């Protein structure tokens, strides 16, 4: 049996409206069209599209993979047709600015769509995802002329975008970039260099590909402060965007890789390719960060989507597969054995996936709505608050959701036993596809350093204080609520672990930065566990208030999943705190020669 997928619309709506109050998003100036009925209709259509167009190409795309012949990359069969349908349906325009041909809907709506697309076909979803990031960077940092030229083409999907940072000698450390940009007599620049691992770097899905390339001007200061950002089109074009000559930016090779085989991962060679600077000289990283932050959230969504897909596949199998009898006596006497869903360990796996996935959904959608507040709320204080939450939690969402997403796909395979390892069921593909999200857009180790090194200290600790205050106030408000006591108590406990860990790092990192580096991944994990725990208690509270109604089944399951999370997953914060407080000596005193 091959895995299927049904978009979790009920849970999405629960999180978006009941938990986060998304029905008020149309009160924000500019989002008037985002009425609940409109969003509902969009989600239903997106679900249908993902299930019927993207999903059927997932396994075949993995088997066929991208091919390179004479600098031309061929994507798997069906991808072009699916991409065209995607554009015709207007999906590429969903959140783009109406001034440039977009529909101007809230980002948070596109997050739900992205989850469905990524769950059904991560490789195919990436082509449009990167274009959206490129559009954001040009919108934020490009000139008027650049916005007018590129954004309508991105909105209708006829052109696509890439993100060209990585070179052979540098991935994490972009200060080592060598690609050169030399000013030319036309007022533009000629770029020469080689980028590697460029997703969607070459393909025939769109009429043109616009590469966003980080490069160095001849007078650039060394390191990260000497990087500028350029738009380098695959094809040059005239003032009316009619395609002209091929720019010397070509695909030298595609990578053969572990997963996302339908996504073209390219070596891109530039040999005096014409490029146009975005923003100002040497300030390229600021513009690129707009794209990277969008891509980081997108990567967290990939993790969340992987978890959902793994869960659905695993539950279906666990109900169907019969092995052994229940420890507490026969449950299905009419069968030769009980379905494996009766066994505690199989339930542990299923509930672990479910609790992380639903919790990560809540955390991610929350921050997506905060980004909408940041974009449109007329109140400057509210915008600042929203920006603080989004900045603080972007590395957490990227790393925590991709880590738990990967773990979930692995558990999904485990639920299938040996059959999970066999390709035809599709479960092993999820593991291979999900693995990349922990690596690209800055490895999860680098996300942890961003959290500990930058975000914690930002604005004299304002971001973290604000976040702690929010959780503290919620706890104070619900502390006397007896029906929530069993949920609040573990949250209080783990929140205190997070605060202790924060204090420990603040105290010790100044004396020895290796303590911060050694603690960072554990710290991000505590951060993610507590944030998701906080979301769980809030979800349980709403579910308790609604469990007598017509949808009792949904709310009861929510409460029970929340209970599992608080009892079985959240307590990890205690061992993580112990590990942090043990310091980094055992790491750093290990002589290099002993490795």
Ligand X SMILES: Cc1cc2nc3c(=O)[nH]c(=O)nc-3n(C[C@H](O)[C@H](O)[C@H](O)COP(=O)(O)OP(=O)(O)OC[C@H]3O[C@@H](n4cnc5c(N)ncnc54)[C@H](O)[C@@H]3O)c2cc1C
The catalytic residue positions are: 441
User: Based on CB atoms, which residue is closest to ligand X, 7 or 401?
Assistant: 401
Are the beta carbons of 47 and 9 closer than 8 angstroms? yes
Mapped onto helix, strand or coil, the DSSP state of residue 338 is: coil
User: Based on CB atoms, which residue is closest to ligand X, 262 or 412?
Assistant: 262
The reply on whether position 443 binds ligand X by CB under 6 A is: yes
User: Based on CB atoms, which residue is closest to ligand X, 127 or 534?
Assistant: 127
What's the sign of the alpha-carbon dihedral 17, 23, 24, 30?
A: positive
Least separation in angstroms between residue 390's CB and ligand X is 21
Interface residue with ligand X among 243, 439, 506, 557 (CB under 6 A) is 439
The reply on whether position 252 binds ligand X by CB under 6 A is: no
Interface residue with ligand X among 30, 56, 90, 171 (CB under 6 A) is 171
Residues in the chain: 595
The reply on whether position 270 binds ligand X by CB under 6 A is: no
Least separation in angstroms between residue 58's CB and ligand X is 17
Looking at the chain, the number of H-run helices and the number of E-run strands are 18, 11
CA distance 206 to 204: 6
CA distance 268 to 194: 6
Are the beta carbons of 582 and 503 closer than 8 angstroms? no
User: Based on CB atoms, which residue is closest to ligand X, 171 or 417?
Assistant: 171
The reply on whether position 437 binds ligand X by CB under 6 A is: no
Interface residue with ligand X among 34, 393, 446, 559 (CB under 6 A) is 446
The reply on whether position 199 binds ligand X by CB under 6 A is: yes
| Bridge partners for 243 per DSSP | 237
The reply on whether position 440 binds ligand X by CB under 6 A is: yes
The site string for ligand X over 125-164 (x = CB under 6 A, - otherwise) reads --------------------------------------xx
Are the beta carbons of 528 and 318 closer than 8 angstroms? no
Are the beta carbons of 174 and 216 closer than 8 angstroms? no
CA distances from 528 to 290, 382, 402, 448 (A): 23, 23, 11, 11
User: Based on CB atoms, which residue is closest to ligand X, 177 or 371?
Assistant: 177
Closest CA to 524 of 401, 361, 411: 401
- Location of structure tokens 């919620």: 474
User: Based on CB atoms, which residue is closest to ligand X, 397 or 471?
Assistant: 397
The encoded tokens of residue 564 equal 């599992």
The reply on whether position 461 binds ligand X by CB under 6 A is: no
- Nearest-CB residue for ligand X: 171
User: Based on CB atoms, which residue is closest to ligand X, 200 or 501?
Assistant: 200
Stretch that binds ligand X, among 245-253, 405-413, 433-441, 561-569 (CB under 6 A): 433-441
Sequence-distant (6+) residues with CB within 8 A of 354 are 311, 561
Least separation in angstroms between residue 542's CB and ligand X is 38
Interface residue with ligand X among 8, 226, 303, 442 (CB under 6 A) is 442
Are the beta carbons of 112 and 25 closer than 8 angstroms? no
Sequence-distant (6+) residues with CB within 8 A of 593 are none
Residue ranges of alpha helices (H) inside 75-230 are 79-88, 107-120, 122-141, 144-155
Quick one: the chain helix, strand, coil %, rounded to 5? Answer: 65, 15, 25
Q: Which of residues 485-524 bind ligand X (CB under 6 A)?
A: none
Least separation in angstroms between residue 260's CB and ligand X is 6
Least separation in angstroms between residue 164's CB and ligand X is 6
CA distance 408 to 412: 6
Stretch that binds ligand X, among 24-32, 36-44, 425-433, 435-443 (CB under 6 A): 435-443
The helix (run of H) or strand (run of E) holding residue 72 is strand 72-74
Stretch that binds ligand X, among 340-348, 391-399, 444-452, 562-570 (CB under 6 A): 444-452
Which positions touch ligand X (CB under 6 A)?
A: 163-166, 171-172, 197-199, 257, 265, 436, 439-443, 445-446, 449
């Amino acid at each position: 049996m091959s895995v299927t997928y049904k978009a979790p619309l009920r849970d999405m709506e629960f999180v978006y409206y009941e938990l986060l109050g998304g029905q008020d998003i149309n009160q924000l100036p500019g989002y008037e069209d985002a009425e609940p009925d409109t969003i509902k209709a969009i989600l239903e259509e997106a679900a249908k599209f993902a299930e019927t167009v993207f999903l059927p190409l997932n396994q075949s795309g993995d088997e066929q993979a991208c091919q390179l012949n004479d600098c031309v990359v061929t994507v798997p069969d069906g991808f072009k047709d699916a991409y065209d349908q995607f554009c015709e349906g207007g999906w590429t325009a969903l959140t783009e600015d109406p001034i440039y041909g977009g529909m101007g809907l809230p980002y948070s709506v596109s997050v739900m769509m992205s989850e469905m697309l990524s769950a059904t076909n991560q490789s195919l979803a990436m082509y449009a995802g990167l274009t959206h990031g490129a559009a954001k960077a040009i919108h934020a940092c490009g000139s008027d002329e650049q916005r007018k030229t590129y954004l309508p083409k991105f909105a209708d999907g006829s052109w696509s975008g890439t993100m060209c940072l990585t070179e052979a000698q540098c991935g994490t450390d972009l200060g080592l970039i060598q690609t050169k940009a030399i000013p030319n007599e036309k007022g533009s620049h000629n770029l020469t260099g080689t980028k590697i691992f460029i997703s969607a770097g070459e393909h025939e899905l769109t009429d043109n590909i616009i590469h966003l390339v980080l490069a160095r001007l001849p007078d650039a200061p060394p390191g990260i402060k000497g990087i500028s950002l350029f738009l380098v089109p695959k094809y040059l074009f005239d003032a009316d965007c009619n395609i002209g000559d091929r720019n010397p930016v070509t695909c030298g090779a595609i990578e053969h890789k572990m997963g996302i085989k339908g996504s073209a991962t390219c070596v891109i060679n530039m040999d005096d390719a014409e490029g146009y600077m975005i923003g100002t000289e040497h300030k390229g990283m600021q513009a690129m960060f707009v794209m990277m932050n969008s891509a980081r959230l997108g990567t967290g969504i990939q993790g969340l989507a992987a978890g959902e897909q793994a869960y659905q596949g695993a539950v279906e199998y666990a109900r169907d597969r019969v092995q052994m009898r229940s420890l507490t006596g026969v449950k299905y006497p009419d069968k030769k054995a009980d379905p494996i869903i009766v066994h505690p360990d199989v339930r542990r796996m299923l509930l672990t996936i479910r609790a992380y996935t639903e919790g990560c959904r809540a955390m991610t959608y929350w921050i997506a709505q905060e980004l909408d507040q940041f974009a449109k709320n007329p109140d400057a204080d509210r915008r600042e608050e929203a920006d603080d939450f989004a900045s603080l939690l972007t590395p957490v969402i990227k790393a925590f959701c991709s880590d738990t997403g990967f773990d979930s796909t692995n558990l999904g395979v485990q639920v299938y036993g040996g059959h999970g390892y066999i390709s035809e069921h599709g479960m092993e593909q999820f593991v291979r596809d999900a693995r990349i999200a922990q690596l690209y857009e800055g490895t999860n180790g680098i996300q942890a350093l961003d959290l500990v090194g930058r975000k914690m200290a930002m604005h004299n600790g304002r971001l973290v204080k604000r976040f702690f205050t929010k959780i503290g106030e919620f706890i104070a408000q619900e502390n006397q609520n007896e029906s929530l006591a069993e949920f609040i108590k573990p949250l209080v406990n783990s929140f205190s672990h997070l605060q202790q860990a924060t204090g420990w790092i603040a105290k010790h990192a100044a004396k020895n930065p290796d303590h911060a580096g050694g603690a960072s991944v554990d710290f991000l994990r505590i951060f993610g566990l507590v944030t998701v725990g906080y979301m769980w208690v809030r979800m349980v509270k709403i579910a308790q208030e609604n469990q007598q109604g017509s949808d009792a089944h949904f709310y009861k399951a929510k409460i029970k999943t929340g209970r599992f999370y608080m009892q079985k997953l959240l307590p990890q914060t205690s061992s993580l705190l112990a590990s942090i407080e043990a310091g980094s000596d055992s790491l750093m005193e290990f002589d290099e020669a002993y490795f």
